[in-house]
Structure 1
Amino acid sequence: MRVLIYSIFLLCLIPTAQGQMLQQKLKTSSLDSQFVYLNLYSKSQSADFKIIRRANLETIRHNVRDSLSTYRKKIAELSNNASSSAGNIKGLQDSVQSLSSQLEQEQQKTDSISFLGINFAKGSYHTLVWVIIIVLAAAFAGTLFAFRKAKVDTVDSKNTVDELQEELQTLRKKSMEREQHLKRQLLDEQLKRNS
């Protein structure tokens, strides 16, 4: 008898335990799993129909509504994130474009040199500087050559002038001596005549 009482008691508890287990599974599992559990634990009336408890159906409906609201919130957040990301991307593209133009301007500045208010490419500037250096070096060499030639000519002229002055001095002395000699002779002759 006890066995019979225990069997009846267990038979009464099994549907209750199954119902509690189903409720627990419906609350904790994913939506797809909840529909699978609902289909397994529902009673078959015929091949096409099943009997579902209203409480189980309400639990699933509540779970679906919660899931949908959660998904809608996530979709709204993702769409807000997408729009803010699009704004960020647009801002970043604008800043990249601005930085590209600034980089191009800086490259032009570094590739060119301003000389006498005129912008030259670096290669042209270096060529111009070397041409100026060569012209100045040639002018310096020409000036140096002309200076040395003038110095040599000046030294030669000075030597020539010195020689000519010496000759002139010599000629003066000779002419003075000759003049004195002639004067003496004249005086001697006059004295001879007067005596």
Structure 2
Amino acid sequence: MMKVKHLFLAITLCFSLLASGQNVAKNANLKLKEGPIKEQFEFILKNSNKYKNYKVVKRDWIEKLQRNVADSINAIKKEYTTEVSKVATQQTEIEKLKTDLASVNQKIDDLNTEKDSISLLGIQFSKGTYQMLMWGIIAVLAVLWLFFTYRFKASNTITKEAKAKLAEIELEFEEHRKRALEREQQVRRKLQDEINKNKN
């Protein structure tokens, strides 16, 4: 009976070790397939056998880990290359956008300058300068108008005075002519009288 018990224990122990080994193998495949690299290293270190001061690791685990590390490095390299390419593309786009922005800013400056200025005879003036120029021209024209109005009134007054004097002179001349004609007629009469006297 004792022997059967020992045999039963030995068989149970063997099955449990075998089941445990299968579980470890299944676990190993699962851990080495899906887990992060750090967890894979931890799994191998934890589940490897010890020999003195060393760890004895299954060759297929190490090979699987090596392939996983190589795949991870390749994936990181590929991702890095993709990111570098993205960064280069984005840098090109940024440079293009900077150029476009500079062009747009220049157009805005030109439009603001054009909006704040007025063209007169092909020359651009700021609105303030244009207003000062226009008010200056209006002031000069107003002064010239006042000056010419004054000169016209003065000339008109002088002309009226000259016409009045001319009319007076014409009157005086007419009277003088009449008197001169009368005198001439008197002198002719006297002369005729004298001639008539001398004939008689």
TM-score (norm 1): 0.68
Q: 1:104 Cα deviation (Å)?
A: 2.8
The RMSD of aligned alpha carbons is 4.7
Q: Which residue of 2 aligns with 1:38?
A: 44
Q: 1:5 Cα deviation (Å)?
A: 3.3
Q: Which residue of 1 aligns with 2:127?
A: 122
Which amino acid is 1:30 matched to? P
1:93 aligned onto 2:98: yes
Which of residues 1, 8, 14 is equivalent to 1:8?
14
Q: Which residue of 2 aligns with 1:77?
A: 82
Q: Name stretches of at least 5 consecutive residues in structure 1 with no aligned partner.
A: 159-195
Q: Which residue of 2 aligns with 1:20?
A: 26
Distance in 2 separating the partners of 1:12 and 1:77: 47
Aligned residue runs from structure 1 range 128-143, under 5 A: 128-141=133-146
The C-alpha deviation readout for 1:43-77, integer Å capped at 9, x for no partner, is: 1112x421111121121112112212211110110
Q: Which residue of 1 aligns with 2:184?
A: none
Which amino acid is 1:16 matched to? Q
Which amino acid is 2:43 matched to? Y
Distance in 2 separating the partners of 1:16 and 1:35: 20
After alignment, is 93-102 or 20-29 more displaced? 93-102
The C-alpha deviation readout for 1:86-119, integer Å capped at 9, x for no partner, is: 2112212222222233233333323332112222
Q: Which residue of 2 aligns with 1:60?
A: 65
Distance in 2 separating the partners of 1:92 and 1:82: 15
Distance in 2 separating the partners of 1:155 and 1:36: 127
TM-score (norm 2): 0.67
Percentage of matched positions with identical amino acids: 26
